[in-house]
């Protein structure tokens, strides 16, 4: 199993450009998440999905969009990139255990710089 | 806004020393998880505690969940250079949502 894979690993964008961060998992997990991690900080939840066709906003959704057409894929779209979106983005997936005992498996991250 | 604060933010110690990292909030959580993150990688789950007062041991690491399920601690005995990393706590908000702490960056010197 490859686990959670993310592409690209690094990207530099100019202000106003758009891009899609790709995330794929091969563990047949129902739940998938997108987080951002600013330098020296913890993770903030951007969007999450509890299954194909179902997505919801997290703590910091502004400036981002997601879709979940299949169980495996959960792309994150940045529209009109801004310097405040410079961060490391992590995708994660989990089976969906009850009462917060789920194990989230994280991808290696995408380091994005907006200039 | 729910906050999960960790202390200390940074810790640099000598090999063989003991240390404790704290994770505090005013919110009640259904569970508390601890992760370790190496540079350039995603976080990896170390442990999940779900019952107030619960204590779990993982070799030299001891995790405790506060009685009121608002706080947690991670104690490392006889730290080794391999323990170096960013330690993150995450509070469970129901079935599948988590809020992450601010992180503690640990460096263990040989």
Q: Are B96 and A43 in contact (CB under 8 A)?
A: no
Which residues from A are below 8 Å from B when comparing CB atoms? 4, 31, 35, 40-45, 48, 50, 58-59, 90, 92, 94, 96-104, 106-109
Note the pLDDT tens digit of each residue in B15-58. Answer: 999 999 999 999 999 899 999 999 889 999 999 999 999 999 99
Closest-CA residue of B relative to A35 is B100
Q: Which residues of chain A have pLDDT under 50?
A: none
What pLDDT, on a 0 to 100 scale, did the predictor assign at position B95?
A: 66
Nearest CA in chain A to B33: A101
Tens of pLDDT, residue by residue over A46-72, are 999 999 999 999 989 999 999 999 999
Architecture of domain A4-96: Sandwich (2.60)
The sign one gets for the Cα dihedral A37, A43, A47, A50 is: positive
**Res A98: pLDDT:** 65
pLDDT tens track for B46-105: 999 999 999 999 999 999 999 999 999 999 999 999 999 999 999 988 767 889 998 999
Question: For residue A115, how many other CB atoms are within 10 A of its CB?
Answer: 10
What domains lie within chain B, and their CATH numbers? 5-109 (2.60.40.10)
How far lies A69's CA from each of A24, A66, B32, B39, B93, in Å?
Answer: 12, 10, 31, 32, 26
């Amino acid at each position: 199993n490859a686990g959670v894979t993310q592409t690209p690993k690094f990207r530099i964008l100019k202000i106003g450009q758009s891009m899609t961060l790709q995330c794929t998992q091969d563990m047949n997990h129902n739940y998938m998440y997108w987080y951002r991690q600013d330098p020296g900080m913890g993770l903030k939840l951007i969007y999450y999905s509890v299954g194909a066709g179902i997505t919801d906003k997290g703590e910091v959704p502004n400036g981002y969009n997601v879709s979940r057409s299949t169980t495996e894929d959960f792309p994150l779209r940045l529209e009109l990139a801004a310097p405040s979106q410079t961060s490391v983005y992590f995708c994660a997936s989990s089976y969906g255990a009850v009462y917060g005992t789920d194990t989230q498996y994280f991808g290696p991250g995408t380091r994005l710089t907006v200039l | 806004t729910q906050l999960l604060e960790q202390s200390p933010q940074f810790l640099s110690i000598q090999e063989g020393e003991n240390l404790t990292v704290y994770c505090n909030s005013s919110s009640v959580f259904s569970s508390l998880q601890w992760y370790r993150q190496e540079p350039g990688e995603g976080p990896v789950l170390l442990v999940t505690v779900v019952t107030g007062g619960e204590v779990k041991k993982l070799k030299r690491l001891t995790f405790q969940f506060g009685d009121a399920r608002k706080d947690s601690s991670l104690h490392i005995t006889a730290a080794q250079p391999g323990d170096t990393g960013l330690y993150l706590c995450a509070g469970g908000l129901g079935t599948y949502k988590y809020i992450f702490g601010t992180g503690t960056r640990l460096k263990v010197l040989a």
